[in-house]
Structure 1
């Protein structure tokens, strides 16, 4: 089988299309027809959620006077006590 030409996805008996099986690590080095617009949207959402989590941690520190680990310890102490 030529490495540049992959077999097309074939439907199974239920009509689902599956990608052909890859060798280990192949997708990291070979071009794939990814939906780059969808991946960009997902990465944008992940970045925004991370920024919101960090801002919430800072707000919690300002309100309680304890860092993130101190807040977690206080929550566990409250929950278990």
Structure 2
């Protein structure tokens, strides 16, 4: 039986390696992390507004949506 040969995809380089002597390139991640934080704040605000309008928390809103969809 012939030994299996694996062909790996090349490693994508993103910033510096954690094992290199140089520190990680954090400037490349700054805009992405800022966007993630802003989207998280928007989602949290939407959950609070939805709770204020409906009187149900986020889980209660999902359950109400499933009940409405299944009826």
TM-score using structure 1 length: 0.59
Q: Which residue of 2 aligns with 1:73?
A: 63
Root-mean-square deviation (CA), in Å? 2.4
State the shift of 1:35 in Å.
Answer: 4.8
Select the residue among 12, 37, 61 that pairs with 2:51: 61
State the shift of 1:53 in Å.
Answer: 0.2
TM-score using structure 2 length: 0.66
Question: 5+ unaligned residues in a row in structure 1: which ranges?
Answer: 1-17, 21-26
> 29-38 or 62-71, which moves further after superposition?
29-38
Question: 5+ unaligned residues in a row in structure 2: which ranges?
Answer: 1-9
Is residue 2:42 matched to residue 1:49? Answer: no
Q: Which residue of 2 aligns with 1:30?
A: 19
State the shift of 1:19 in Å.
Answer: 4.3
Say how many residue pairs are matched: 57
State the shift of 1:37 in Å.
Answer: 2.5
